[in-house]
Amino acid sequence: METINLMDLTIPQIEELMAGLDEPGYRAKQIYKWVHQKGAASFDEMTDLPLVLREKLGSVSTPGGLVVIAKSAAADGTAKYLFGLHDGHSVETVFLPHKYGNSICVSSQVGCRMGCRFCASTIGGLVRDMTAGEIYAQVTGVQADTGQRISSVVVMGSGEPMDNLPQVLRFIAMVTAPEGLHIGARHITISTCGVVPGIRALAREKLQITLSVSLHAPNDRIREQIMPINRKYPVADLMEACREYILLTNRRVTFEYALIYGLNDSPEQAAELGALLKGVLCHVNLIPLNEVEERSFKRSDPARVRAFKDILENNGAAVTVRREMGSDIDAACGQLRRRISEGHTLPKRR
């Protein structure tokens, strides 16, 4: 029988488990709190549960906590984690401390099938989707390691969240719930490379989260060179879906734009991007490319970044240049995972 991951379960589902174990239903809320608020790594930590119940739980389930395989810390406090999953695969998570609170960038899939040319996480393709509990466990795992509360979450690590939307939505429901970590919806960001049906499905949920779209080009010709998804969902279709999202949620969309030297960073391309976004409730986040060893792309120099920003602002766009964090620890998605071989074993927790 497959072991149950308690991190994946709701309180009613744990109540059902209690009934099957001939235990009172009120134990479900105690267990849920241990797993989803305290991030218990073992049943031995659940000291207000009878030993008999802990033994029963250990025979059929796991608390769902993740093992830290590797950790790399930067001088600015940023830390990248490689977490081990139950099946021997691993995913990356990044801790980002700010003056206004601590943020975390979580993965939603092991690997990725989208094939963006500048991204390390897509090298090797998609391995599998992650469950809501596995996504959630990255948050509790970082909190346990740092001893600090996470106040905002970005689903922008390895994987395409819209490719695993049911589990991502379940994760959001869990992490924002009062009986969970109770992180406000406006402190949750979902990033997509431009999966139009996913954007439309998310819009219908009318959540008060932030949608972040990896645009990276002002037109189809350039975007298709670096993002294969554009062949299926071209820029016009993507912008239409974003306008629909804004209309249904009344939330501003963030457009991520990684500046790649000589490809998408000219003054003409800045003007074209400004025209594309004219009248759209949005914010542009310019990103000096985080170079990946396996890719040939180079980042734009600071002067080109400043010129690009100035042109966008002159076109009326709200623009920021992302502050670099963790550049000395390969903080881009997929880099740490590729440096450390897979095949670890996750110790049994009890």
Looking at the chain, the whole-number percentage of residues with pLDDT higher than 70 is 91
Q: Does domain 67-339 have CATH number 3.20.20.70?
A: yes
282 is catalytic: no
pLDDT attached to residue 292: 61
Q: What token pair was written down for 311?
A: 């042109």
CB 294 within 8 A of CB 39: no
Interstrand relation of 101-106 and 109-111 (parallel, antiparallel or unpaired): unpaired
pLDDT for 123 equals 84
Q: Which residues contact 155 (CB under 8 A, 6 or more apart)?
A: 105, 106, 108, 135, 161, 168, 171, 188, 189, 190, 191
The rounded distance, in Å, linking the Cα atoms of 153 and 190 is: 9
Give the torsion sign (CA, 257, 102, 186, 179): positive
Place of tokens 């488990």: 17
- Average confidence score pLDDT of the chain: 91
Which residues make Cβ contacts (< 8 Å) with residue 128, sequence separation at least 6?
89, 109, 110, 111
206, burial (CB in 10 Å: exposed 0-12, middle 13-18, buried 19+): exposed
Give residue-wise pLDDT tens across range 298-339: 899 999 999 999 999 999 999 999 876 555 555 455 555 445
pLDDT of 349 strictly over 80: no
Residue 280 CB-density burial (10 A; 0-12 exposed, 13-18 middle, 19+ buried): middle
The structure's pTM equals: 0.91
Cβ count within 10 A of residue 209: 20
The catalytic residue among 92, 256, 272, 291 is: 92
117-136 average pLDDT score: 91
Residues of the chain with CATH 3.20.20.70: 67-339
CATH 1.10.150.530 in the chain is located at: 4-62
Q: Is 45 a catalytic residue?
A: no
| Dihedral angle, C-alpha 303, 305, 308, 314, nearest 10 ° | -90
261 vs 343, higher pLDDT:
261
| CB of 258 closer than 8 Å to CB of 118 | yes
Of the candidates 105, 119, 193, 333, the residue annotated as catalytic is 333
pLDDT number for residue 297: 84
CATH class of the domain at 4-62: mainly alpha
Segment 9-27, tens digit of pLDDT: 999 999 999 999 999 999 9
H or E element at residue 33: helix 27-36
pLDDT, position 328: 54
pLDDT for residue 341 is more than 70: no
